[in-house]
Amino acid sequence: MPFPSLADIDALTGEFASRKSEAAFLQHRQTQIQPLLGFTLVFCTLFYLAFALTDLAALGFGTDFLSLLAARMLVALTAGSCAWLAYRRRLRVRALRLAASLSEAVALGCFMLVATLRPAEFHWHAMSLAIMLIVVYLYIPNSFVNAALLAFASTAILLVLALRLGRMSHADVITMSMLLVLANAFGALAARRFNRVSREEYRAQIELQHAAERDHLTGCHNRRYLHDSLMRTGTRHAGLCVVLCDIDNFKRINDTWGHADGDEVIRSFARLLGAMTRDGVDSVIRYGGEEFLAILPATSLEEGIAFAERLRTRFAASATPSADGRDSILTTASFGVAAAGMRGDGAAPLLQDLISAADKLMYEAKRSGRDCVRAMHLA
């Protein structure tokens, strides 16, 4: 999961400047965005249709009224279909934004037709557009840029129509322009603030989750993650291998070099383990003080042993520089490897059984003189 920084929030839009962070944020919010888009579109469409009454009052029953009714039905059809999609289908964020932009563009376009056919009421049209702009900026979930472009374009078109068709005084045109500029400025500022606050909230949530699931010293997952995530969800892999690693004679390292250097040895072991495991596939957990657990899905016992042997030789050969930089700390580690395939009843192997077996095997490696691998296959 990408870890976004506050500096990554764009000053103009309030969205993450990095595509990766923004995509992760939108993905995280998707389950909220979908029903929100659906609800807002339905809500706006009902009002849009209800306002056909004002067409009837202004124009009477005739061709112009029917044209506007058809336009309003088109808005209802577009927004209704988009709302249905938002409720019923699992859409990608890009598709949701397309649905939002399309509904907004059709509604604003039809609104311009209303203004054209009812040229005596530009004061009301300006007020209605001001309200619609707030809805576009704040209520219909869309990107800041899409919302701003639609808002600017519809403001410009209404002003041109007012100048050409509305028989308005200069004072009225100026007041109308100011009102629409105010609605745009307020809408954009409020959208920017909302975007920023929701991204700060998301970042704090990710940070908390990270702190709750990770070990502070090494950045590896902790036992809470092992119990709450891995053990609770279980494994869906037919074959699973677990490697328990324990740094040898670690007490002596602390006693000889001090705790700060001991910490550095733990960190360098964690770095090596992280570099040798597969990103997004394997899990590395700091299981105890100087004990680590590697959970390797879809890995056979032979592959697990080969992995542990590579790790053992590389760690034994890599020296950690002491804090004063004058010496190098060399040590070894012992490993217990347990693997299992699909069980007789067709169920996946139990992680807890594999960890218990790997723990026993690791102690066997310690008893056999340390710096070695002990392994077994669970039936």
Task: Cite the active site residues.
Answer: 290
Upper half-sphere CA count for residue 13 (Cβ side, 13 Å): 16
CB 203 within 8 A of CB 18: no
Q: Which residues bind ligand GTP (CB under 6 A)?
A: 217, 246-251, 254, 259, 262-263, 266, 289-290, 366, 370
Q: What are phi and psi of 281, to 5 degrees?
A: -115, -60
CB of 231 to ligand GTP, least distance (A): 23
Q: What is the dihedral angle through the alpha carbons of 204, 210, 211, 212, rounded to the nearest 10 degrees?
A: 110
CB-nearer residue toward ligand GTP: 160 or 330: 330
3-state secondary structure of 238: coil
CB-nearer residue toward ligand GTP: 104 or 290: 290
Residue 280 Ramachandran class (φ > 0 left, ψ -120 to 50 alpha, else beta): left
CB of 196 to ligand GTP, least distance (A): 38
Q: How many CB atoms lie within 10 A of CB 232?
A: 8
Please state, in angstroms and rounded to a whole number, the distance separating the CA atoms of residues 211 and 213.
6
CB of 361 to ligand GTP, least distance (A): 14
CB-nearer residue toward ligand GTP: 343 or 366: 366
Measured CA angle at 365 (ends 359, 366), to 5 deg: 90
> Which stretch of DSSP H or E encloses residue 127?
helix 122-134
CB-nearer residue toward ligand GTP: 89 or 224: 224
Provide the residue type at 88 as one letter. R
* Residue in this structure with the two tokens 């979908």, named with its chain if needed: 34
Residue 279 Ramachandran class (φ > 0 left, ψ -120 to 50 alpha, else beta): beta
CB of 344 to ligand GTP, least distance (A): 35
CB of 374 to ligand GTP, least distance (A): 14
CB of 368 to ligand GTP, least distance (A): 12
* Residue of 25, 69, 39, 51 lying closest to 135 (CA atoms): 39
CB-nearer residue toward ligand GTP: 227 or 259: 259
Helix then strand then coil, % of the chain, to nearest 5: 65, 10, 25
* Residue in this structure with the two tokens 């970042």, named with its chain if needed: 203
CB-nearer residue toward ligand GTP: 159 or 293: 293
CB-nearer residue toward ligand GTP: 178 or 217: 217
For 278, the token pair is 């597969």
CB of 364 to ligand GTP, least distance (A): 12
- Alpha carbon of residue 194 to chain centroid: 17
For the chain, what is the radius of gyration of the CA atoms? Answer: 32
